[in-house]
Structure 1
Amino acid sequence: MIDTHVHFWNFDPVRDNWINEDMMAIRKDFSPKNLLRVYNDLQITGCIAVQANQSEEENHFLLTLAEQNEIIKGIVGWVDLLSPNLDERLTYWSNFKTIKGWRHILQAENADFILNKKFIAGVNLLKKYNYTYDLLCYHNQLTDIIKMVDQIPDQPFVLDHCGKPDVKSQDIKSWSENIKTLASNPNVLCKVSGLLTEADWKNWTEKELFNCFDTIFEHFGPERVMYGSDWPVMLLSRPYQDWFNLVYKYTERFFAAERKLIFTDNATNFYGV
């Protein structure tokens, strides 16, 4: 099994200022070694390390970790997709085969950025190098994400954290409608990940999360959904095993071959690991 969404960092209070005082559980270092025991217990054989810092130094940091830790099967890094030297930078990074794709933290940007022609052209260039692109956004940005994705045919996309629905309020009608539209694009997959931190961290219910799962699996189907944890961010709510067990419980309704797609095959095919 592959966990398609984990982060590693040596905590820096200035660089990592998004980890505020309410997040004491993750205001510390996290390395692959912290995952080995839980992965062994759950028979998870590898992970995709996703950028948490928007710098090319982050790519080298993750590459070093991957060289030292076999559980890292692929990396989703960061590169300046607006750079006039993007082609040159992608040529450079293509020498590092562990890097499978790229991500920009679009949840911190506005519509003008998401629909910027230069940004769209940058994402469009990724196909030349067979790179994937991870879409990170809030539910209220999905209409812009749909417009962006529709302008970049044949680019492999994956939506992180189900597009961050408002699990806490359960106001998910417009999110569900946008997920239906986004999923109609066959080039977009979805990670079932990161929902614990969109819920009430300590008081969420299984039903609240399963309501969101219902929408994702109805529209993407098990053929285009992949398991991810969003560790260590999800530790703000629960231990790793609780999230894994929740997803596993929900997917027991599927055939064994479909569960294999969700937990293994979709990830290996999408990221080429």
Structure 2
Amino acid sequence: MLKIDAHQHFWIFDAIRDSWITDDMHVIRRDFLPHDLQYVLHENGIDGCIAVQADQSEEQNGFLLHLTEGNDFIKGIVGWVDLQAENIEARLEFYSHTRLMKGFRHVLQGESNRALMLEPAFKRGISLLSKYNFTYDILIFPDQLKYAAQLAQEFPQQKFVLDHIAKPDIKSNKIGEWAADIKQLAANKNVYCKVSGMVTEADWHNWTNDTFTKYLDVVFNAFGTERIMFGSDWPVCLVAAEYSAMKAILGGYVQQFTAAEQDMIFGGNAVSFYKL
């Protein structure tokens, strides 16, 4: 069974485009390219990865697809398209001819319209993804979980995956409303969940593996071992944890499950979801 990191990023740092990388995140204010990651994956027993967009442009798609050349450990790309565009079907048809483009994502967490995903133009784009066998990564904050549940319910044939367990406020130890909304979203069997990004929502300098246990309990009880996949969120995770530490959080937690279930969480589910 392939071991897969289902969520990481590459970029050539641009201070204007990447203004979200603030001064306190200086450790990632530089370029991150395949040669930076390849050794880290090998060191951590990971066979391959899914590279996810870090910029909302089709130029980013070309950049990521170009990086796959000669780097066969990059097993797939989650890119970006304007789902609300008039020509969305033509763009999806175009990307359907690129073997490694597996799906798309929009930075919904940054939209002032918190329910943008339920607008007719956006839903029209979502409705076309399954025709071309594309997945959709849901990047949101907890206040948008209810909208995501409605979206998933409206498109039961579409494969969705929730990024970063919807970024609960771990630093403030908040869990109640987020937990209820996770359960509602997970009731849609077409939705998977990436256990990724958690360390950046905690106190970067004062977390332990136990910090995340109750949040992991929620997502595992909601999604089950068959719809959860490991993602490092490298290099963003580096502001709070080395790759090995990020992997160890989940690795320690899943010791309660069978070896077969652990294999699915650390690779099999990603292989199935993204058709690697």
Quick check: TM above 0.5? yes
Give the TM-score, by structure 2 length: 0.97
**Other-structure match for 1:169:** 172
**Other-structure match for 1:106:** 108
8 Å contact kept, 1:120–1:151: no
Would you say 1:29 and 2:46 are equivalent positions? no
Moved more, 140-149 or 24-33: 140-149
Equivalent residue for 2:214, pick from 192, 199, 211: 211
**Other-structure match for 1:64:** 66
**Other-structure match for 2:143:** 140
**Other-structure match for 1:50:** 52
Q: Any gaps of 5 or more consecutive residues in structure 2?
A: none
Equivalent residue for 1:152, pick from 146, 155, 173: 155
- Aligned-residue identity in percent: 50
Instruction: Quote the Cα distance in structure 1 between the aligned partners of 2:189 and 2:51.
Output: 24
**Other-structure match for 1:20:** 22
Give the TM-score, by structure 1 length: 0.98
Equivalent residue for 1:186, pick from 186, 189, 194: 189
How much is the aligned-residue C-alpha RMSD, in angstroms? 0.9
1:44-103, Cα deviation, whole Å (9 max, x unpaired): 000000000000000000001011311100000000000000011111111111000000
Would you say 1:197 and 2:200 are equivalent positions? yes
SS at 2:97's partner residue? coil
Q: Any gaps of 5 or more consecutive residues in structure 1?
A: none
**Other-structure match for 1:4:** 6
Q: How far off its partner does 1:208 sit?
A: 2.0
Instruction: Quote the Cα distance in structure 1 between the aligned partners of 2:23 and 2:267.
Output: 36
Instruction: Quote the Cα distance in structure 1 between the aligned partners of 2:243 and 2:135.
Output: 26
SS at 1:15's partner residue? coil
8 Å contact kept, 1:104–1:136: yes
Equivalent residue for 1:258, pick from 252, 258, 261: 261
Q: How far off its partner does 1:112 sit?
A: 4.0
Residue 25 of structure 1 aligns with an amino acid whose one-letter code is V
8 Å contact kept, 1:4–1:227: yes
SS at 2:86's partner residue? coil
1:187-240, Cα deviation, whole Å (9 max, x unpaired): 000000000001111112322211110000011010000000000000000111
Instruction: Quote the Cα distance in structure 1 between the aligned partners of 2:79 and 2:252.
Output: 31
Moved more, 181-190 or 144-153: 144-153
Instruction: Quote the Cα distance in structure 2 between the aligned partners of 1:201 and 1:210.
Output: 16
Structure 1 ranges of 4+ moved more than 4 A: none
SS at 2:18's partner residue? coil
Moved more, 239-248 or 4-13: 239-248
Residue 73 of structure 1 aligns with an amino acid whose one-letter code is K
Q: How far off its partner does 1:114 sit?
A: 2.1
1:105-137, Cα deviation, whole Å (9 max, x unpaired): 010112342221110111111011010000000
Instruction: Quote the Cα distance in structure 1 between the aligned partners of 2:121 and 2:64.
Output: 27
Would you say 1:125 and 2:128 are equivalent positions? yes
